[in-house]
Structure 1
């Protein structure tokens, strides 16, 4: 391009144009220009200048929250400068892409999507509102730019609005009205589809599902390597995996074919570990991720608990896998009464993984009486080994096998043998069925009516119904990585609705996370979502029929999730008439709610993750310009409004590790609102999980945070969750030392 001198006023004018609606007392365009110009070098491009200005503004966010908005505006307008405005011509460029190395066509858009867009170009182009790109915060926008927006020869070609419309048309195809409805709700931040859907919708061979659950095909070389290939195929297509290994024979078990003995789980899991490293999800978008589930009666359980530890011999470690225990009630009872626990080999004591509840207990105790176990240990010895692994590595995750099965709408299919990578999906698997879940999350803060200080349950209900319909369409159009996955998904049609920004919704309504008002709102949000999802699923069933394996399920007998928990809903929604409708038409989906971690998508939206409290009120972010502090935007606004914000205050909060509890001039009402997760009783967190659990027919990714974990504290937390009936007792154990801000 042309060369020109860097002009101070020109940059200031450009930045000033983007300051509309921001606080003029606190946001100073000239200050940004000054700092930007200090980073200028010979031959810098205007694009690089904009990048620099955006980072500078982001850097200044700690002085006032409006800088975060300005940073995003500079970055977005920079992208707008470099990309085409007209969506249909962007789609055309992506579709007609030719690989420069081979000279062969390499379309990035599917034929169907391309044809739909060309046919309805005017209507779709004019539905897009580019100003909505300016509603992203800087880090959310940078996340989109880094991983989600499609590129041509390494250069970003899509704008965020283009991506959202691609997802909408990718899901709805020729149903233009539904596509535009989805576009509007997503671009106004009412909800988002899951990362794989955002990455792949509208592209050739679009694998849009997030999670896969796999049953080990068979305890044989064929079975183990067939299953490994299935894992590789799924991982290649951007899916996270939950795999159960309860039925793999233990170390020293006899192998008939070779007259030898088995090496047990550890060497096999090392092979799986290397596959996870080799096959990342969708070519470097995320590393491959497998969670391995084991029941604690398995004779290799002690070695299993050591696999992620940092020290120890390399050949008995597999540190790239995640580990989870699938815990029967009997084990918890034996720990509680300080009884004994018998370790068994599934080859010598078959069938334990295929039964739950009383049937499991009868079979297990029968094997014990017959002396078939390998060794008997004190139950608490194994318990302490579990806690030690959790304290050191955050794993194993804990899921309760009996609660997951007893309170499952899939219990007519057989015993559920594991959850998924993030412990929120509870679905039936079999050697010929790989369970799948398509996810989306509702952005809870968007439904707060700030004017009236109320929560708009009606709108939440409405949007949940739209998302339920979307996920049903995704089941139909998804490109499944293996045939066992499409078989399972078409038979049972499970979906997973989650949330992001529960903590932000509480803050918007001025409710401390651990207040009675927050506890009630938490329940009513999940009641609303469960009611809406069931109603929507029932309406689809009225049109297309219920899912194939519906007959015999609890819902087919009029039994909903809260009935299985023995909970009565509040009077917010009419459940009786819904049950009557379901009795008439059935439902289209076996499972509906599964609050997932929302790690990337909540960052894009600019909200806190899923249903978690804030972990800190200040944390560091690294960008090219260096490392800088990001302050909880709600707190920053409150402190600025009350004239309490200064450099001194910022440094005080940093010195306190992100806590405001011990800072004298912060008023008590703010201290109550801004307790971090380390300062909220975990009993309260577990109680809120159980409260919402009565309306969650799958499960939830429940992290537990403990500043200084002790065996006593972790034990009491696990037993509280178990007795409250949680299906997921714990996803990660997060400890303070491991995650200082």
Structure 2
């Protein structure tokens, strides 16, 4: 083992170093390595190959057979390690020698070579102790360092500003040590370091410390904000410029004026924003709110949201929030007052608008809506128009849900050609490829979900779309899929009955029917099929089809299970059409037709911001919801519509979807375990309050602005609120076992709705909030925590995430130390198996797979009684089996849930059981790549396994 680290160390043989490109896995010669003495030498990938080979042979022996086996292993490992080092080279083209060694260690661990990795780790520690002893024995003054300016000249490193910057970043943050950050920063500096790398060095220095103290996430964010300020101020002034947080509190107003001018000239900002009273708005900015971010939140904004010209960001956080607020206040009478009100809500993190709104508000193309739902007709012109509409809607960041049930099935007669149809699957393949081609304006991957009703003759092929085997021309590897399940099918499953599949061209009215009317028509068609009056049909055992649906969910994570009847029976808009599908994330339930493409406008209340140890702050919540509803309603009028059917539908019905995030954070602040009746009650009570105030807010808007045009005849107009529509579902099913209790004055609100009307046909929907919850630094949506300590991977990079509340509790009990960090890594962020942790904390901080899925369903069912749309409900099953899945999804149906979302399994990913410092990287900001919060399908054989959507991957979460 003595040669393992020596071979990688650039000090060894540095004078005879070959170019990086000369090795078998060589990177570009432009990559360099920072030596421990601060010198910089070319990066040579072949050194990794040699070191790995010696490491394996030192552990496994030097026989011929071992050498042959090791050669193949090392080739693959080297390629992976070099790829990890270089794949995000835009953040810096230098690697510290420790970074390389960290990646080697992680590569060994990730690939299961634990003996080699263990020996490697031990030897690294031994060498580190030796170097430390040498330095202590021969301590000398550190050489003076210089920075390389943009013009190529060298200037002395401004140690004073570096120290001030780090001190400012640590100010007020318990457990954050200035000396430690500075020491780690200086380790990554070298003579002639560029300005960008110098700005990045303290950020990454602080970031490596997050695993031991969560407050370093806030310190990292403050350091990142300094880098952003330098970038923006320099861009706007045309000369090198920078400011500390304290200096910026004075300069923010002047910056804001310059920012708007430059954004308008660059055609990034709507010129109308320049006609606001800018002095009034600038005076309302709160620079201190820049300090509210943690690192992941600000890095996400930096990478994906802030306006830029040629990749140079010129939008600072408070300007960003004010730009969005101004964009949402354009049509207000006193638009400055409303913009300030909206800005205050957004920048406080009490409420956050959805990603399309944050992307596009105040710009020249303000496409602010999150979700679009379409129904595809059964003719060639209509099919390809629908695919074109998908492309236009996706271009500006919309997520799509397509109802394909009307398209005739395989073997159906085509009258115009006297031929036979190839069914719906070939068209789904085209829609899949279109979603990839139109990648939401280059900001994230296009995202679409196809829905098919369970009686469609092609449903069994539909179930196979996400498989990795079979004819690839009949697979859609990038498209989400969902079953649209009628109650009658579930009744046949429960009774072990027969289920008949039809082609929709022969049973056209089934598409628009639900409840008892669907049952009558369906049984009539079954009788006709038995008499030979229907040509294309097939009978299957309902239980067999159900098992196959669950099997595909088991293997591929798709299709999701969504329920047609509760979506329609409880829809306020049943008088105006039919809900034919949900959306990309299964929380939207709106009518679609040939003339109307449903649109929904989303935003989420941060529940954590509205609770304290004493419970829910109902007064604050009411104020938040009232303003949020106004913002969401404004989206309808301001929105840029890419197709006329979307505009027609949105203006006629004006639906919005107010949701929540930070649910588990709120539970933890209230000291309530997720798997408890108390948590179910809190889900009920908190959603009741949000529902009450959302409906009340819509009534207030109706009084001010008028009812939505299709109000008459709706459930609202008849005094049937969401809590009342439960009785309609219970009547259709012959009963529904669900708590109906209420605590607020629903009678008074019901009277106001009837008398005044509603501004919005729909008010609530709980979306995944995969990205906006990161911005606010809270748990997403209604999800239980996936892990308490993990590496989160997304478009912004790889980030250590630690549950700060857990750390605070462990510190209070004297349990937070290096051993605890190590244990959390070993047990994949779970506290359940750590003996030292008391039982009350194990219950409070239980992770998703430690919570039985029925608790998630019970809580969701209690929320659903207050929601006029639906909720994105992921289900976590730690030890999946056919019986477990059957019980879980039947329970979801019996409880009256409208939809479910992903099925997730524990084995999708694991936290690296080694140093997370290596994952976090240093100057190169690269990582070994563990999608630790990604939750994929249930474990199946490798050849059948498919990757499901990642919880933390904003490239495939379009809603928020």
Shorter-chain TM-score bucket reads over 0.9
Deviations 1:296-325 (A, max 9, x none): 111111111111112222112111111001
Post-superposition shift, 1:739?
A: 3.5
2:409 aligns with: 250
Q: Which SS does the other structure have where 2:499 is aligned?
A: strand
Post-superposition shift, 1:469?
A: 0.9
Partner residue of 1:330 out of 475, 478, 488: 488
CA 73–88 in structure 1, closer or farther in 2 if over 3 Å, else same: same
d(CA) in 2 for partners of 1:530, 1:313: 47
1:259 aligns with: 418
Query: Structure 1 residue 680 and structure 2 residue 832: aligned?
Result: no
d(CA) in 2 for partners of 1:690, 1:140: 31
d(CA) in 1 for partners of 2:705, 2:800: 52
2:165 aligns with: 14
2:110 aligns with: none
Alignment map for 1:685-700 (pairs within 5 Å): 685-700=856-871
Query: Structure 1 residue 433 and structure 2 residue 606: aligned?
Result: no
d(CA) in 2 for partners of 1:665, 1:379: 49
2:374 aligns with: 214
d(CA) in 1 for partners of 2:273, 2:621: 29
Q: Which SS does the other structure have where 1:275 is aligned?
A: helix
1:240 aligns with: 399
Partner residue of 2:527 out of 369, 390, 398: 369
Give TM-score scaled by structure 2 length: 0.74
Partner residue of 1:461 out of 622, 636, 642: 622
2:773 aligns with: 602
d(CA) in 2 for partners of 1:300, 1:559: 37
d(CA) in 1 for partners of 2:854, 2:638: 42
2:256 aligns with: 87
d(CA) in 2 for partners of 1:75, 1:694: 43
CA 564–477 in structure 1, closer or farther in 2 if over 3 Å, else same: same
Q: Which SS does the other structure have where 2:714 is aligned?
A: coil
Query: Structure 1 residue 655 and structure 2 residue 813: aligned?
Result: no
Post-superposition shift, 1:572?
A: 4.1
Partner residue of 1:563 out of 696, 721, 724: 724
Post-superposition shift, 1:634?
A: 1.1
Post-superposition shift, 1:14?
A: 2.5
Post-superposition shift, 1:629?
A: 3.7
Post-superposition shift, 1:630?
A: 2.4
1:632 aligns with: 803
Query: Structure 1 residue 123 and structure 2 residue 272: aligned?
Result: no
2:105 aligns with: none
CA 377–709 in structure 1, closer or farther in 2 if over 3 Å, else same: same
d(CA) in 2 for partners of 1:189, 1:176: 20
Post-superposition shift, 1:9?
A: 6.0
* Comparing 416-425 and 48-57, the one that deviates more: 48-57
Post-superposition shift, 1:707?
A: 1.4
CA 502–626 in structure 1, closer or farther in 2 if over 3 Å, else same: closer
CA 306–113 in structure 1, closer or farther in 2 if over 3 Å, else same: same
Partner residue of 1:583 out of 750, 754, 775: 754
d(CA) in 2 for partners of 1:317, 1:626: 30
2:305 aligns with: 148
2:576 aligns with: 413
d(CA) in 1 for partners of 2:608, 2:805: 12
* Comparing 693-702 and 391-400, the one that deviates more: 391-400
Deviations 1:459-488 (A, max 9, x none): 111110111111111101101110100100
d(CA) in 2 for partners of 1:571, 1:320: 43
CA 624–211 in structure 1, closer or farther in 2 if over 3 Å, else same: closer
CA 257–605 in structure 1, closer or farther in 2 if over 3 Å, else same: same
Deviations 1:2-47 (A, max 9, x none): 6333465653343123221122xx3221221222222223432344
d(CA) in 1 for partners of 2:795, 2:421: 51
CA 623–495 in structure 1, closer or farther in 2 if over 3 Å, else same: closer
Give TM-score scaled by structure 1 length: 0.95
Partner residue of 2:427 out of 263, 268, 290: 268
State whether residues 512 and 578 of structure 2, in contact with CA within 8 Å, keep that contact through their aligned partners in structure 1: yes
State whether residues 852 and 877 of structure 2, in contact with CA within 8 Å, keep that contact through their aligned partners in structure 1: no
1:724 aligns with: 895
State whether residues 300 and 796 of structure 2, in contact with CA within 8 Å, keep that contact through their aligned partners in structure 1: no
State whether residues 64 and 640 of structure 1, in contact with CA within 8 Å, keep that contact through their aligned partners in structure 2: no
Root-mean-square deviation (Å): 1.7
Aligned length: 722
2:76 aligns with: none
State whether residues 429 and 435 of structure 1, in contact with CA within 8 Å, keep that contact through their aligned partners in structure 2: yes
Partner residue of 2:839 out of 661, 668, 671: 668
State whether residues 232 and 312 of structure 2, in contact with CA within 8 Å, keep that contact through their aligned partners in structure 1: no
Q: Which SS does the other structure have where 1:351 is aligned?
A: helix
Post-superposition shift, 1:236?
A: 0.8
Q: Which SS does the other structure have where 1:341 is aligned?
A: strand
1:63 aligns with: 212
Query: Structure 1 residue 311 and structure 2 residue 485: aligned?
Result: no
State whether residues 664 and 783 of structure 2, in contact with CA within 8 Å, keep that contact through their aligned partners in structure 1: yes
Alignment map for 1:126-205 (pairs within 5 Å): 126-173=283-330, 175-205=335-365
State whether residues 214 and 803 of structure 2, in contact with CA within 8 Å, keep that contact through their aligned partners in structure 1: no
State whether residues 676 and 855 of structure 2, in contact with CA within 8 Å, keep that contact through their aligned partners in structure 1: no
Q: Which SS does the other structure have where 1:89 is aligned?
A: helix
d(CA) in 1 for partners of 2:887, 2:794: 41
d(CA) in 2 for partners of 1:398, 1:591: 22
1:103 aligns with: none
Query: Structure 1 residue 284 and structure 2 residue 448: aligned?
Result: no
State whether residues 342 and 377 of structure 1, in contact with CA within 8 Å, keep that contact through their aligned partners in structure 2: yes
State whether residues 12 and 30 of structure 1, in contact with CA within 8 Å, keep that contact through their aligned partners in structure 2: no
Post-superposition shift, 1:613?
A: 0.7
d(CA) in 1 for partners of 2:814, 2:891: 42
Q: Which SS does the other structure have where 2:604 is aligned?
A: strand
Partner residue of 1:736 out of 906, 918, 924: 906
d(CA) in 2 for partners of 1:10, 1:203: 36
Q: Which SS does the other structure have where 1:581 is aligned?
A: helix
2:745 aligns with: 574
2:782 aligns with: 611
Partner residue of 2:390 out of 211, 227, 231: 231
CA 624–586 in structure 1, closer or farther in 2 if over 3 Å, else same: closer
Post-superposition shift, 1:641?
A: 2.4
CA 252–568 in structure 1, closer or farther in 2 if over 3 Å, else same: closer
Q: Which SS does the other structure have where 1:262 is aligned?
A: strand
Post-superposition shift, 1:175?
A: 1.1
State whether residues 524 and 570 of structure 1, in contact with CA within 8 Å, keep that contact through their aligned partners in structure 2: no
Partner residue of 2:561 out of 394, 398, 416: 398
Q: What stretches of structure 2 of length at least 5 have no aligned partner? A: 1-148, 234-251, 728-737, 911-931, 933-960
Post-superposition shift, 1:625?
A: 12
d(CA) in 2 for partners of 1:238, 1:45: 36
CA 76–276 in structure 1, closer or farther in 2 if over 3 Å, else same: same
d(CA) in 2 for partners of 1:145, 1:17: 20
State whether residues 321 and 346 of structure 2, in contact with CA within 8 Å, keep that contact through their aligned partners in structure 1: yes
State whether residues 562 and 568 of structure 1, in contact with CA within 8 Å, keep that contact through their aligned partners in structure 2: no
State whether residues 792 and 798 of structure 2, in contact with CA within 8 Å, keep that contact through their aligned partners in structure 1: yes
2:179 aligns with: 30
Partner residue of 1:53 out of 194, 197, 202: 202
Post-superposition shift, 1:377?
A: 1.0
Query: Structure 1 residue 381 and structure 2 residue 539: aligned?
Result: no
CA 626–302 in structure 1, closer or farther in 2 if over 3 Å, else same: closer
State whether residues 55 and 625 of structure 1, in contact with CA within 8 Å, keep that contact through their aligned partners in structure 2: no
d(CA) in 2 for partners of 1:130, 1:167: 16
Deviations 1:71-103 (A, max 9, x none): 111111222233243212101101112xxxxxx
